[in-house]
Amino acid sequence: MEKLVEVQDLHVRFRTDEGIVYAVNGVSYDIETGKTMGIVGESGCGKSVSANAMMQLLPDNGWVESGSIMYNAPEGVFDVTKLDKKDRRTALVHGKEMAMIFQEPMTSFCPVYTIGNQIIEAVRLHTDIPKTERRNYVIGLLRKVGIAKPEQRIDEYPYQLSGGMRQRAMIAMAIAANPRLLIADEPTTSLDVTVQAQILNLLKDLQQEFGMSMLMINHNFGIIAETCDMVAVMYLGFIIEYASTRELLNNPLHPYTRDLLRSVPQVTDKKGVKLSYIQGTVPGAYNIPPGCPYAERCGKKLSGLCETAKPPTVDKGDHRVACHLYTPGGKQ
């Protein structure tokens, strides 16, 4: 498959009053054309930061220290991290070629403008649709994403819509310019289970209709399993395991991945069975441990090695894992 995006050895930092935050540490992954790449991990592990860097949405105190994000645009491949605001290609990663669905639409929509005004503005910025046709075009978008009575809803404010309807409106704004890459950052977190399923089915239908690639960022392995072709497991800013979704779920290699999967409730669990959990807490990103980032919480660690030496990334066929257990000095 053709690669639409190649993230290579990406390092992202944030400057704060407490010190430098090492948010992303040498992350590499590919997004193939028409496929869905998933990133999964606990909150605060850096899942969203690489996507924000891709969209040039890092705050003023954040920067890409090293690495690259190569984007395969119709006009040629370029490194997103090297663009400045004056470069005409910058517009490509701000809603035209790439678009993003955020975790909480209520904070993403401006409360004093109707959803129609805000989606029409996206259409104005990123398409050549004439002014006289934009309203009808947006009504069509709202209908496409499953919003009932779009002729009425287009003139309503965000607070007048339910959470599911706001998320659908945000999806309509994201697909307004028919982007080649859609980034979904925890798109169903604040929704109930029934609406979650509807939104995920909508995203899959839109991907098939438009041929988009997707980057799905989530902490829920069930959603990752349902939507993604490939998946990267992140911990403390590192990708510790990378494989096809089916391979990773059937044969998880890293102890952290196994621990995450064990903590997911199963419908086959008997009554009274205690939910498994990962003991300890994620180390602070201000001071990255010298060894494996998961060593402090890992029940399989090799004493004297895991705490002192960073594990190399080992290729196990089409499966990559960063763990000392799979090196010559390990046990597997």
Closest of 188, 184, 182 to residue 210, by C-alpha: 182
Domain final residue pick, 178, 197, 217: 178
Does the residue 291 lie in any domain? Answer: yes
| pLDDT confidence of residue 268 | 65
Closest of 169, 201, 205, 199 to residue 186, by C-alpha: 199
Structurally, the chain folds into a number of domains equal to: 2
Reading the block at residue 47, the tokens are 């899942």
Does the residue 332 lie in any domain? Answer: no
Closest of 139, 226, 120 to residue 177, by C-alpha: 120
Does the residue 197 lie in any domain? Answer: no
Mapped onto helix, strand or coil, the DSSP state of residue 214 is strand
Reading the block at residue 136, the tokens are 């009808």
* Helical residues (DSSP H) of 100-174, grouped into ranges: 105-108, 115-126, 131-144, 150-153, 163-174
Tally Cβ neighbours within 10 Å of residue 56: 17
| pLDDT confidence of residue 267 | 65
| pLDDT confidence of residue 244 | 95
Does the residue 157 lie in any domain? Answer: yes
Does the residue 150 lie in any domain? Answer: yes
Reading the block at residue 150, the tokens are 């779009």
Does the residue 11 lie in any domain? Answer: no
| pLDDT confidence of residue 125 | 87
Task: Give Cα 15 distance to the centre of its chain.
Answer: 23
Domain final residue pick, 178, 202, 224: 178
Q: Which domain holds residue 172?
A: 106-178
Place of tokens 């090799």: 302
Task: Give Cα 22 distance to the centre of its chain.
Answer: 18
Task: Find all residues with CB under 8 Å of 294, minimum gap 6, and list them.
Answer: 235, 236, 240, 254, 255, 256
| pLDDT confidence of residue 306 | 92
Domain final residue pick, 178, 201, 228: 178
Residues in a beta bridge with 14: 21, 62
| pLDDT confidence of residue 89 | 80
Q: In what side-by-side order are the strands of the sheet with 238-244?
A: 98-101, 181-185, 213-218, 36-40, 230-235, 238-244, 319-322, 313-316
For the chain, residues with pLDDT lower than 70 are 1, 266-269, 329-332
Does the residue 242 lie in any domain? Answer: no
Does the residue 264 lie in any domain? Answer: yes
| pLDDT confidence of residue 86 | 76
Do the beta carbons of residue 138 and residue 120 sit within 8 Å?
yes
| pLDDT confidence of residue 332 | 55
Reading the block at residue 211, the tokens are 């041929």
